[in-house]
Amino acid sequence: MPIDPSEPAQPQNYAASHRGRNSYVNSPPVPEGKGPIYKAFAFWIYPFTRFHRIPVFKRVWLYLTFMAFYSLVVDIVVTRNFPNHLFKEAGAAGYTSVILGLLLVFRTNTAYERWWEGRKLWGQLVNDSRNLCLKVRTYVPTAPGDKAELGELVVSFAYALKHHLRDSQASRSLPGMGDVPEGVKINAPVYIAGKIYEKVLDWKNDDLFDGFIMIQLDPHLRSFMDICGACERIKNSPLALSYRAFMRQGIALNLLALPWYIESEFNYWMSLPLILIGSYFLIGLELIAEDIEEPFGKDGDDLPLDTICGTIETTVNDILQLNKSQKFTTSFRKPRIDPLKETKANPI
């Protein structure tokens, strides 16, 4: 795997098995004696037997522990001080839960739209990188090494954009970044995109192609900055602060009130599953929305930017035959395995 010294080395070295640099999740053969019926039931069983591998559960379990303890305290208080079932009108809690659920659906949908837009933008970057390199290989009559230099800049743009969106510093060893003064902070994707434009303009000034070919290349060149700007818009424009605070206040107050209504109708051990299930979904949906509304991080539910950058590098290398000694990254995040499927990672 290519090397970007700006990223710390990982204990596992994924480079050796990632020379194709695309890591896919491949389905192994169905175990002997386990056919369609097994797969049909496993589809529903895995979400319960592998729930600890779901990214949001790593954060929600602490809240569930607090709710279990809080419910125990409420049960003791209600049993000792309110034997006449003062809080027996559980319908009030149900009514507020319905309203809160509708607001939470809007919150989740809004966050998912941001995640999906980010995925489309990076998918567009993959396509424009391929198209630009294919047209350069076909239309520009220059030395293969000269074309490979542009391909390296295209790959560098993807890695630089990943660093930019994660607020990390791209290494000066990336192609196109070598002449940046030490200690000077720049917008790395913009800087490298300028280098790509300069490279194409040099070819144009050398009369290697005419204006018609430039018209063919320009949409792909321009799309780099369009994608960068759109990703910055997603990253720098979170959901309104007042709305996020209002939702969390509503969830917290609803969950704090819930045991007071349920404990009056049932004993602790009968009401606890109901409380924990309601808490799991309300808190879980809020945490999921919080994760995916900024989709460029490193959490399990964020976009796999490392894999997408590896895809761009692999394809550009296939098209323009990059310098094999050129390294772009020191590490490659292990591909995520879907815990809801009978799959395993199999890096190529």
Confidence of residue 195 (pLDDT cuts 50, 70, 90): very high
Q: What is the mean pLDDT of residues 269-273?
A: 80
Confidence of residue 40 (pLDDT cuts 50, 70, 90): confident
Residue 11 lies in a domain: no
Helix pair 241-262, 268-292: axis angle to 10 deg: 170
Residue 3 lies in a domain: no
Burial code (b: 16+ CB inside 10 Å, e: under 16) for 231-245 equals bbebbeeebeeeebe
**How many Å apart are CA 331 and CA 309, to the nearest integer?**
12
What pLDDT, in 10s, does the model give residues 296-307?
Answer: 988 888 899 999
For residue 106, CA distances in Å to 109, 242, 247, 325, 331 come to: 5, 15, 11, 49, 37
Residue 8 lies in a domain: no
**How many Å apart are CA 104 and CA 249, to the nearest integer?**
12
Number of structural domains in the chain = 1
Residue 332 lies in a domain: yes
- pLDDT score of 217 more than 90: yes
Closest CA to 190 of 231, 132, 219: 231
- pLDDT score of 310 more than 60: yes
What pLDDT, in 10s, does the model give residues 226-267?
Answer: 999 999 999 998 888 888 888 888 888 888 887 877 765 666
pLDDT confidence of residue 319: 93
The overall average pLDDT reported for the chain is 79
How far from each other are the two terminal CA atoms of the chain, in whole angstroms? 11
- pLDDT score of 184 more than 70: yes
- The residues with which 26 forms a beta bridge, in sequence order, are 344
Longest CA pairwise span in the chain (Å): 92
**pTM of the predicted structure, to 2 decimals:** 0.77
Residue 165 lies in a domain: yes
pLDDT confidence of residue 29: 46
Beta pairing, strands 344-345 & 25-26: antiparallel
**How many Å apart are CA 11 and CA 203, to the nearest integer?**
43
Side-chain-side CA neighbours of 98 within 13 Å: the count stands at 5
29-33, 184-188, 296-300: which range is least confident on average? 29-33
**How many Å apart are CA 77 and CA 88, to the nearest integer?**
14
Structural domain range at position 48: 16-345
Residue 1 lies in a domain: no
Q: What is the mean pLDDT of residues 104-118?
A: 89
Residue 4 lies in a domain: no
What pLDDT, in 10s, does the model give residues 77-100?
Answer: 776 665 555 555 555 555 666 777
Residue 112 lies in a domain: yes
Question: Which string of DSSP letters, residue by residue, matches 105-143?
Answer: HHHHHHHHHHHHHHHHHHHHHHHHHHHHHHHHHHH--S-
Note the helical H segments in the chain. 36-49, 57-81, 91-139, 144-165, 188-205, 211-236, 241-262, 268-292, 305-320
